[in-house]
Structure 1
Amino acid sequence: MSKINHLSGISSQFVEIGRLRMHLLRAGNKHNTPMLFLHGNTCTSTIWEEFMLQFSDEFYCIAPDLRGFGDTEKQIIDATRGIEDWLDDITALIKKLDLPPFHLVGHSLGGFICWGLIARHATDIETVTLISPGPPMGFGGIHGEQGKANNPDYSGSGGGIVVDAFADRLKAGDRSTDHPLYSPRNMMNRLFWKEGFHADREEDILTAMLQIHTGEKYYPGDYKQSKYWPGVAPGRYGPVNALSPKYNQALLNDFLNTEPKPPLLWVHGVDDHIISDTSFSDPGYQGKMSLREGWPGEAKYPPQPMTLQIEFSLAEYQSKGGKVFREHIKDCGHTPFIEKPTLTKQALSDHLQKNSSQ
């Protein structure tokens, strides 16, 4: 496999946290206020490198490879605990590094984990920035602003919704463009950002994508057969199962009732095709668009309204005393800090300036 060429100013480190050997990228002076960056699914810490460097003069920037990804030790994710394995890992990392109060930045899956980190580490967090986060209700098989299950077994969430052809190509380290839908490179360029955009570090980001830990108990994870459409229900292992609403039913309530409530910025690309009310990753929307056979219709299996669910969650957070700021960026997809770095940096910088106690 190709090696990632880290940018000048980025250093790589392995840390034993007691639970596993974790890989980190770092930038900046360790005596400055920490800023902790959490990456998204099918990616690693390397996606943050350019953005970290924009803050490294003032902050100590830290980006781990989450369990299941990158150069962090290959260990099973017990999906029946929802995001708890990730939370336990990050808690152990915070303790190992003896971090003072920090700023938290999460993207996609990393943003989803942030909902739980806020609940667990509210007193340690200065500010939170969620960039294209998964909604706190979880991903797949739910409807309505509060995320009610379409079916009792949460069919349409978990490892079974990942297309085998894509998972097989990840496992094989495929760097080609020979399949329009399932080549990892094509998938990245179609969904990570607005189609037509090309990242300067495409090769390194693709390498990071191919570093995901694969296998039945890893990515994409196992699954159960379901009598409900689309025929699969969550299994027990791996990151996609850990995102299932079945295993994260307390997450929204924990987030909303945390005290104190750190000030929160939500950054959203208007043209995001992953976290969206019309997400091409959602079985309900895939069915509506005739991309999955046998869809039972909107009444029985509607698309998941992800942005509506995030809006509901943030409005509830505000109603309970939390401060929430929103930055919706036009002509931008799922990864604003790469597609629109100047606008995203300005939004985050303003957020830090207004809300930091430092």
Structure 2
Amino acid sequence: MDLMPGVRAAEVDGRIRTHYLESGPSDGEPVVLVHGNLSTGRFFEHLMPGAPERYRLLAPDMRCFGRSEPAPIDATRGLGDWADDLEGFLDALGIDRPVHLVGWSTAGAAIALVARARRVASLTFLDPVSPFGFGGVFRDGRPCWPDVAGSGAGVANPEFVQRLRDADRSEDSPLSPRNVMNATYWRAGHREPPAREDVLLDEILLTTISDDGYPGDAVPSENWPGAAPGTRGLLNALSPKYCDWSWLPTLAEKPPVLWTHGGADIVVADHSALELGTLGAGGVVPGWPGADVFPPQPMVTQIRDVLEAYRAAGGRAEIEIFEESGHGPHVDDAQRWSATFFSFLDSVR
């Protein structure tokens, strides 16, 4: 791998074999940067060369992504497999002190679970999945249907999945992985330099495409839109049937929290362009039963509700909205995001 200056790659055997990037001194204050769906630790690489020298930055590839072991994901545990893998990763590296955890998108749920299992120094939620999972719930987290139809692997776009499987690098369809990355990860119009864009696309194409990885298995449903979550794979792990971190305010020990969010995020939003309530309301998916039955999920509102409850319960929660950014403000507004993040870490040392 041709890495940026000061960035190192290694592997360690913990709960699974984990590939990771690292920078900073081996005895530095540990900061673990955890990527989200359809990405890898390399989506944090650009933050490493300019990081303060006192921090040891670690960016692992999570199971079924990147170069780590493609172990199966038990979706019935939500992001429990990822959380346990992170604990095993830290143990294998001999890190027994509290760490700063960053969770992008999917990984927001995973780092919350780690904080429930062990003491952490801080939590940074970077455009995290809603505390009630992705798709098919009302504001208070109640499922729209008993089987949580409209969430999970059954609603994945089959053309996009096939293009991932085919390692498609083209720009000839809105559903090519390259175009999906540029349309949904960053703010409108943002493109990484061509060589860097190719690197990140290569990382996406390392995804394990299977019922145990991405997208997962699905079951038919009598409820709209006709598919409910199965029990395997990542998209099912994100379903509200299994994914939940709304309990965060009940933590006995409440680490300082930073929530950074892209104001132009179309993935995690109150009207997410990828969520069935929004797609149904817009006529993209026919047969929508209406807002009383299946409303667009108010994801950002749900995050804010939980963090306000965290504050009310005595926790510290800072909120920084990057109004022009998309789902990845750490990339499309990297300098500002990095300054915000490291300033937050400085404040909790």
Q: TM-score range by the shorter chain?
A: over 0.9
User: CA-to-partner distance for each residue in 1:236-259, whole Å, 9 max, x for gaps?
Assistant: 11111111111135x322x22112
More displaced stretch, 74-83 vs 342-351: 342-351
User: 2:255 — aligned with what?
Assistant: 262
Give the Å deviation of 1:113. 1.4
User: CA-to-partner distance for each residue in 1:19-44, whole Å, 9 max, x for gaps?
Assistant: 32111111111111010000010001
Cα distance in 2 for residues equivalent to 1:231 and 1:5: 45
SS at match of 1:143: coil
Confirm or deny: 8 A CA contact 1:29 1:56 kept in the other structure: no
User: 1:347 — aligned with what?
Assistant: 340
Cα distance in 2 for residues equivalent to 1:268 and 1:67: 25
User: 2:121 — aligned with what?
Assistant: 126
Cα distance in 2 for residues equivalent to 1:148 and 1:161: 19
RMSD of aligned C-alpha atoms? 1.2
User: CA-to-partner distance for each residue in 1:49-103, whole Å, 9 max, x for gaps?
Assistant: 0112222522100011011111001110010111111111111111111212211
Confirm or deny: 8 A CA contact 1:5 1:204 kept in the other structure: no
User: 2:220 — aligned with what?
Assistant: 225
Moved over 4 A (4+): none
Confirm or deny: 8 A CA contact 1:115 1:252 kept in the other structure: no
Cα distance in 2 for residues equivalent to 1:226 and 1:169: 26
Q: Is residue 334 of structure 2 the alignment partner of residue 338 of structure 1?
A: no
User: 2:185 — aligned with what?
Assistant: 192
Letter in 2 for 1:239: L
Give the Å deviation of 1:281. 1.2
Aligned runs of 1:87-236 on 2, under 5 Å?
87-99=83-95, 100-121=97-118, 123=119, 125-144=120-139, 146-180=140-174, 182-200=175-193, 201-236=196-231
User: 1:7 — aligned with what?
Assistant: 4
1:16 corresponds to which of 13, 26, 29: 13
1:237 corresponds to which of 232, 238, 247: 232
User: CA-to-partner distance for each residue in 1:287-316, whole Å, 9 max, x for gaps?
Assistant: 111221211111111001000000011011
SS at match of 1:252: coil
Letter in 1 for 2:129: G
1:289 corresponds to which of 271, 282, 293: 282
Calculate the TM-score normalised by the size of structure 1: 0.94
Letter in 2 for 1:157: S
User: 2:36 — aligned with what?
Assistant: 40
Give unpaired runs (5+ residues) of structure 1. Answer: none
Paired-residue identity, %: 36
SS at match of 1:267: strand
Cα distance in 2 for residues equivalent to 1:5 and 1:143: 45
Calculate the TM-score normalised by the size of structure 2: 0.96
